[in-house]
Amino acid sequence: MQKEVVIIGGGIIGLSCAYYLLKEGHKVTVIDKSDIKSGASFVNAGYISPSHFIPLSAPGIITQGIKWMFDSSSPFYVKPRLDSEFLKWAWAFKKSATNSHVEKSIPVLKESLILSRDLFQEIKNSNEFDFQFERKGLLIAYQTEKAGEEEWKVGKRGIKEGLKVINLSPSEVKKMEPNVDFNIKGAVFFQDDAHMTPEEYMQKMYAYLMNKGVTFYTNEEVVDLQVSNQKITEITTNNRMLKADEVVFAAGAWTPLLAETLGNSLLVQAGKGYRINAARDTGITIPTILSETKVAVTPMNGFTRFAGTMEIGGINHNINPLRVKAIANAASSYYRGIKIKETEIKEATCGLRPCSPDGMPFIGKSSKCKNLTFATGHAMMGWGLGPVTGKLVSEIISDKKTSLNLESFHPDRKF
């Protein structure tokens, strides 16, 4: 049965939901407060990474986070503040950072990321629109023995989970990247990963959806939601009023603000990430994470992207020059002969990733509103989990059996 579905949010998650809902024959409208040309979906590393099967909230992150808290240029920075929602989130994050939570999450994340990668491949194979999609794997390059041991520990767990992972010496890495002069002790190579150019995909997916009849209201903000009998009956923006059979909240870091208008507390904090683009030949051909600095390097269409850092500091787009400089310094530290130019540093930008306390996304219906589906909280894996989230949302709204068990993603789960 065709339903009228309104999606609030036009990032990778919102567009993925629109794509799969359209495939199911629904009439889809997308509302976004921006022009869908910027934000986290445009500035991320473009990774589709089964290698990222360990959630952000893992044992040791609290201790490390406290050390990093005093360094605003550190890879993971939490800005302390007296805000009730942040404090609730921080407490839930601490409670989630356990071995049992990690063990429960690993197979769920791995399965979700593999399915999402395969769905990206399906979209590519459909020839509906063309975009970069390359399965070259992911190098985790390290400079210290300690980091190498930690990365290989994760690698061995990946092997146990059925992933193809190998530990490489510097000379073996050199054979894979002959035009790069690495300053490393070695690298762990995850062979199952893929990568893309986010801007290219977003632009082409947007154009495809418009051409197929999806209605877009951009530069419009939702200002009111009317609820009756536990259903959203009216959505009012600054320009119009809409009705819908089903509503999807896919507004990223802004989703809790929408949920709050319905009396629904959703523990999501904005995690700011930065990117620097180098539009020149760097010689880099394989996506690489620089282990100690957590900087992600991606060879994209016509440029190389250096991205990273997680800054939990509220909703703002202020550029912290220290954090941008840390990314630039990491590049020259791991790659001899590569220096990020001042002009490239000045053009750095950021995006806000929606972070749940337990590192698992919120996907599913809330018991508090019968026609509302949440699709947010993906943290650093929003890009990689885009298609699988869209497919799951379309299955929920179409009353079909979901491709994955949604228990770990339930929006009403307790922390």
Total domain count for the chain?
1
Domain assignment present for residue 414? The answer is no
Inside any domain, residue 148: yes
**What pLDDT does residue 265 have?**
86
User: Domain with 392 in it: what CATH number?
Assistant: 3.50.50.60
Q: What confidence tier does 75 reach under pLDDT thresholds 50, 70, 90?
A: confident
- What pLDDT is recorded for position 59? 74
C-alpha 302/C-alpha 81 separation (Å) is 40
In a domain, 128, yes or no: yes
Tell me whether residue 415 is in a domain: no
Percentage of residues in the chain having pLDDT higher than 90: 86
Each residue of 206-259: pLDDT tens digit?
999 999 999 999 999 999 999 999 999 999 999 999 999 999 999 999 999 999
Residue 76 located in a structural domain: yes
* 215 is a domain residue: yes
365 found inside a domain: yes
- pTM here is 0.95
Structural domain including 316 reads 4-409
Structure-model confidence comparison of residues 66 and 408, the more confident one:
408
pLDDT score at 56? 81
Percent of the chain with pLDDT over 70: 97
Residue 301, strand partner residues? none
- Write the pLDDT tens digit of every residue in 161-194: 999 999 999 999 999 999 999 999 999 999 999 9
Which residue type sits at 169?
Answer: S
What is the pLDDT at residue 66? Answer: 57
User: Per-residue pLDDT tens for 91-100?
Assistant: 998 899 899 9
Residue 233 belongs to some domain of the structure: yes
